[in-house]
């Protein structure tokens, strides 16, 4: 057996010393981490062992209109808890609690006799009932605050405001989109207790106050919204429609002044029994759903044709009642035709043949570039979840016959907010806008958010926009939009009547009647889209939708002045 040399012994000792040093260093590092880095977390865990906490729900921020009218607020309710181990006379406690809270005595007595550390007696208790319990002197009873969302105007702005769940977290609409601002931070009450939950004699109680949520101020005006809601409800009843929607925008800033849809429901009594029906009614279809716009799309075709220099007063267009493209006969809405007419007369007459010709003269590349520039194939960026985007035939697949149909609003699908935003750019001097529902958000510390101001990029020239406005004004003064006329106010606009499709085929007798109107026509400030889905009886946009835009502007300008 070989002798271990002194060198090898020293080498082994050195290795052992290094290992011992490493182990001591590791233990020291762990102690430092536990005692310093992780101290706060461990302190919380220790407190959890020796304290019982009662949550205090933070007050949710308010939603108000642009002028400070309250649209969504809160009401304080209470949840009552019992800790069975802290109740000395369970029979007496069950008797008192069952009477005041209207609970079953036998079931309650059984719960109080259980081994549970804590039981919930009742949620949503009002202040008077809570005080009766407290004043009864029953031991082992604890109270926490709850917040209930309250909507002063019930079914006003249902799809815009949205609603919350039982924990007052936003589920739809503004409530969901701005939930992080509105929800606040919860507080709690800590009371020292033993391991089984009994409150210690001379126990200390710590109150940690919650932080109230921020207030959200909408761009909407309650009074204008009420005017629009009334018009929507009346159209729904008069035309026995499937649904009716309307949007009013400031066409220069993008601020949404009103946005309404019927059918609706009371936000204070959300119908949760039928989830499918609830989701359908709560869905903001005016931003999420696409539809074939029909003749309202002619606003865009006209704007692009003017900008491209294709429109002049001398040029004549002939309409025989139809036009053949790629061997397919496409009808004008007027079977006998409009005869010879200028482009402006074609706009006033809403002649399909004029717009088919304009689309073909523009060509697929230029027309598609224009549609894209107006933002019709993208989302507008409105501050609400669920926005959709427009649809077109892929550029490399579009045929002349498709292009002709797009010219007068077929073979293309857009969202209502997308169409209205594009129309606003066409008449406001040529600038794109971003629609907005929220103007500012603030809390006790100050302003947290301010909506961006200013116009976007230019899509058509000011002169083209001005000329377009003149043409669209004749639609109201002389053409199919006469029912939108308002005494003392110049109104321009365009009617639309589009057939609906089901399973890829035209649905017989089903139409979407629309009207887009702006005012004052000489210098537009407001633009409105009114849509009636599947009206019974009359279905032309000039008859079904235009009158309500005229009514809205009559009442709206009277209010503003």
Q: How far apart are CA 193 and CA 81, in angstroms?
A: 15
Q: Is the dihedral of CA 65, 68, 69, 75 positive or negative?
A: positive
Which of 542, 533, 551, 545 minimizes the C-alpha distance to 240?
A: 533
Give the CA distances from residue 515 to residues 43, 182, 188, in Å, rounded to whole numbers and listed in that order.
Answer: 65, 36, 54
Q: Is the dihedral of CA 403, 407, 410, 411 positive or negative?
A: positive
Other Cβ atoms closer than 10 A to 100: 18
CA 432 to chain centre: 21
In this structure, what DSSP letter does residue 65 have? -
Give the CA distances from residue 90 to residues 120, 129, 133, 137, 476, in Å, rounded to whole numbers and listed in that order.
Answer: 15, 20, 15, 13, 78
* Residue 207, token pair as written in the block: 């109150």
Candidates 262, 264, 295, 513; catalytic one: 295
User: SS in 3 state form for 314-329?
Assistant: CCCEEECCEEEECCEE
Burial of 413 (0-12, 13-18, 19+ CB in 10 A): buried
Is residue 117 annotated as a catalytic residue, yes or no? no
Other Cβ atoms closer than 10 A to 170: 23
- 3-class SS at 411? coil
Give the CA distances from residue 26 to residues 17, 36, 38, 434, 536, in Å, rounded to whole numbers and listed in that order.
Answer: 14, 15, 16, 58, 81
Burial of 114 (0-12, 13-18, 19+ CB in 10 A): exposed
Q: How far apart are CA 459 and CA 427, in angstroms?
A: 11
The H or E element spanning position 20 is helix 6-32
Strands (E), 359-452: 391-392, 412-413, 438-443, 446-450
What is the rounded end-to-end Cα distance, in angstroms, of the chain? 113
- Phi/psi for 414 (5° steps) reads -135, 160
Q: Is the dihedral of CA 84, 87, 92, 93 positive or negative?
A: negative
For helices 298-307 and 416-427, give the axis angle rounded to 10 degrees. Answer: 30
User: Based on C-alpha coordinates, what's the Rg of the chain?
Assistant: 34
Please identify which residue in the block is written with the tokens 């002349």: 400
Please identify which residue in the block is written with the tokens 């496409």: 330
Active site residues: 295
């Amino acid at each position: 057996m070989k002798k271990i040399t002194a060198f090898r012994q020293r080498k082994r000792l050195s290795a052992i010393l290094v290992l011992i040093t490493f182990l001591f260093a590791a233990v020291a590092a762990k102690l430092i981490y536990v005692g310093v880095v992780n101290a706060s977390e461990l302190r919380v865990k220790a407190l959890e062992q020796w304290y019982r906490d009662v949550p205090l729900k933070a007050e949710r921020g308010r939603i108000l209109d642009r002028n400070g009218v309250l649209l969504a607020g809160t009401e304080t309710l209470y949840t009552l808890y019992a800790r069975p181990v802290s109740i000395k006379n369970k029979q007496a406690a069950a008797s008192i609690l069952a009477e005041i809270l209207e609970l079953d005595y036998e079931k309650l007595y059984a719960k109080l006799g259980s081994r549970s550390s804590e039981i919930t007696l009742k949620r949503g208790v009002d202040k008077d009932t809570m005080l009766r319990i407290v004043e009864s002197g029953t031991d082992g009873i604890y109270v926490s605050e709850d917040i209930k969302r309250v909507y002063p105007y019930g079914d006003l702005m249902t799809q815009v405001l949205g609603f919350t769940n039982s924990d007052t977290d936003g589920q739809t609409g503004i409530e969901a989109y701005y939930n992080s601002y509105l929800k606040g931070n919860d507080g709690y009450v800590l009371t020292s207790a033993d391991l089984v939950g009994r409150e210690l004699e001379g126990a200390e109680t710590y109150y940690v106050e919650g932080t109230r949520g921020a207030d959200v101020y909408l761009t909407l005006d309650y009074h204008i919204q009420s005017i629009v809601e009334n018009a929507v409800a009346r159209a729904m009843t008069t035309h026995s429609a499937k649904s009716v929607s309307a949007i009013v925008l400031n066409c220069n800033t993008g601020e949404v002044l009103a946005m309404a849809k019927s059918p609706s429901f009371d936000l204070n009594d959300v119908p949760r029994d039928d989830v499918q029906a609830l989701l359908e009614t709560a869905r903001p279809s005016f931003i999420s759903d696409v539809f074939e716009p029909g003749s309202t799309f002619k606003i865009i075709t006209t704007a692009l044709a003017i900008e491209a220099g294709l429109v002049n007063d001398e040029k004549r267009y002939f309409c025989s009642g139809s036009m053949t493209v790629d061997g397919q006969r496409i009808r004008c809405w007027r079977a006998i035709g409009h005869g010879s007419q200028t482009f402006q007369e074609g706009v006033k007459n809403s002649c399909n043949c004029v717009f088919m010709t304009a689309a073909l003269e523009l060509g697929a590349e230029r027309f598609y570039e224009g549609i894209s520039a107006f933002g019709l194939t993208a989302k507008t960026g409105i501050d609400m979840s669920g926005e959709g985007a427009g649809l077109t035939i892929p550029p490399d697949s579009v045929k002349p016959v498709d292009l002709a149909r797009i010219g007068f609003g077929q073979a293309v699908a857009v969202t209502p907010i997308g169409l209205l935003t594009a129309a606003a750019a066409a008449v406001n001097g040529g600038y794109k806008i971003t629609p907005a529902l929220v103007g500012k958000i603030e809390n006790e510390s100050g302003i947290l958010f301010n909506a961006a101001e200013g116009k976007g990029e230019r899509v058509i020239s000011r002169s083209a926009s001005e000329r377009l406005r003149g043409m669209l004004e004749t639609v109201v003064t002389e053409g199919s939009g006469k029912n939108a006329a308002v005494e003392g106010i110049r109104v321009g606009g365009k009617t639309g009547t589009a057939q609906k499709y089901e399973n890829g085929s035209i649905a017989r007798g089903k139409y979407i009647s629309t009207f887009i109107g702006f005012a004052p026509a000489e210098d537009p400030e407001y633009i409105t889209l009114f849509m009636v889905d599947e009206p019974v009886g009359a279905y032309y946009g000039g008859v079904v939708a235009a009158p309500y835009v005229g009514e809205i502007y009559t009442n709206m300008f009277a209010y503003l002045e």
